């Protein structure tokens, strides 16, 4: 048996699938800037901060933009993205996500969000679960993004639980690296090549086997 006391869940890609909206918003910005941006390119942005996402999107053209232009582009992409979030409803959980959250609470664990997104609270409110969590750690609460452990360490500290007693659920490689760097149990959701470094790996949120994880 483990001494697990809390779960920290990533938001985009674990609880709900906002990746498509991120893609549409980045694609619109890319088109406006005369840059080709594909769905495959978007995969590289999974779990990556907004600024790093823009840097990856600009690629070798990065050096041609001023800081003010970068700020404007990040704000423009976010306007497009936030507008798209208006369609999210409590029906937009990824399969198994709502059940996982309820099961974690039913078994008496604390539960937090650990997301890179500055729009975390907006998305949680649209899903109807803003008040569900013991702590919310997001793109506003920490400045250093995943793969640094900061976002998960902040969540553990806010819950009053030591990092070793926390398990993180993540869909991004950077997120799994962040969980391991925080000395937490890493639960990866997605293919081996993306989250294979995690202690446990499942194809989707719906496949997560809490009993297996709790057996240790």
From the list ligand B16, Mg ion, none, which binds 22 (C-beta under 5 to 8 Å, kind-based)? ligand B16
Backbone phi and psi for residue 156, each to the nearest 5 degrees, phi listed first: -60, -45
Which helix H or strand E contains 205, and what residues bound it? none
Q: Does 177 bind ligand B16 (CB under 6 A)?
A: no
Q: Does 188 bind ligand B16 (CB under 6 A)?
A: no
Q: Which residue number, 134 or 170, has a Cβ lying nearer to Mg ion?
A: 170
Is 195 within 8 Å of 156 (Cβ atoms)?
no
Q: Which of 21, 29, 50, 167 binds ligand B16 (CB under 6 A)?
A: 50
From the list Mg ion, ligand B16, none, which binds 5 (C-beta under 5 to 8 Å, kind-based)? none
Name the residue among 185, 183, 187 with its Cα closest to residue 171: 187
For 14-69, the DSSP string reads TTB--HHHHHHHHHHHHHHTT----HHHHHTTTT--HHHHHHHHHGGGGGGS-HHH
Q: Which of 48, 54, 94, 208 binds ligand B16 (CB under 6 A)?
A: 48
Task: Specify whether 134 is catalytic.
Answer: no
Q: Does 96 bind ligand B16 (CB under 6 A)?
A: no
CB atoms within 10 A of CB 204: 14
Catalytic residue among 12, 17, 134, 138: 12
Please identify which residue in the block is written with the tokens 């659920």: 169
Task: Specify whether 10 is catalytic.
Answer: yes
Measured from each CB, the residue nearest to Mg ion is 13
Q: Does 127 bind ligand B16 (CB under 6 A)?
A: no
User: Which residues, in sequence order, are CB contacts of 114 under 8 Å at separation 6+?
Assistant: 8, 9, 10, 137, 138, 151, 152, 154, 155, 168, 175
Q: Which of 21, 37, 53, 166 binds ligand B16 (CB under 6 A)?
A: 53
Q: Does 17 bind ligand B16 (CB under 6 A)?
A: no
Q: Does 205 bind ligand B16 (CB under 6 A)?
A: no
CB atoms within 10 A of CB 139: 16
Q: Which of 16, 49, 173, 205 binds ligand B16 (CB under 6 A)?
A: 49
Q: Which residue number, 163 or 190, has a Cβ lying nearer to Mg ion?
A: 190
Q: Does 118 bind ligand B16 (CB under 6 A)?
A: yes
Q: Which residue number, 96 or 139, has a Cβ lying nearer to ligand B16?
A: 139
Is 115 within 8 Å of 12 (Cβ atoms)?
yes
Active site residues: 10, 12
Binding residues vs ligand B16 (CB under 6 A): 10-13, 22, 45-50, 53, 78, 115-119, 139, 172
């Amino acid at each position: 048996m483990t001494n697990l006391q809390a779960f920290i869940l990533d938001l985009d890609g674990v609880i709900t699938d906002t990746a498509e909206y991120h893609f549409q918003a980045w694609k619109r910005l890319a088109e406006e800037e005369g840059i080709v941006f594909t769905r495959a390119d978007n995969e590289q942005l999974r779990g990556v901060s907004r600024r790093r996402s823009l840097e990856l999107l600009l690629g070798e053209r990065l050096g041609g933009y001023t800081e003010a232009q970068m700020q404007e582009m990040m704000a423009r992409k976010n306007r497009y993205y936030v507008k798209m979030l208006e369609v999210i409803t409590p029906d937009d959980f990824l399969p198994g996500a709502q059940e996982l959250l309820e099961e974690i609470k039913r078994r008496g664990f604390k539960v937090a969000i650990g997301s890179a997104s500055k729009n975390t609270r907006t998305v949680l409110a649209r899903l109807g679960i803003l008040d569900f969590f013991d702590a919310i750690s997001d793109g506003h609460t920490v400045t250093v993004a995943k793969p640094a452990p900061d976002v998960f360490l902040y969540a553990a500290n806010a819950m009053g639980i030591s990092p070793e007693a926390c398990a993180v659920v993540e869909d991004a490689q950077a997120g799994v690296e962040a969980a391991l760097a925080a000395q937490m149990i890493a639960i990866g959701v997605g293919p081996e090549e993306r989250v294979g470094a995690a202690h446990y790996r499942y194809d989707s949120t719906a496949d997560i086997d809490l009993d297996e994880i709790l057996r240790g």
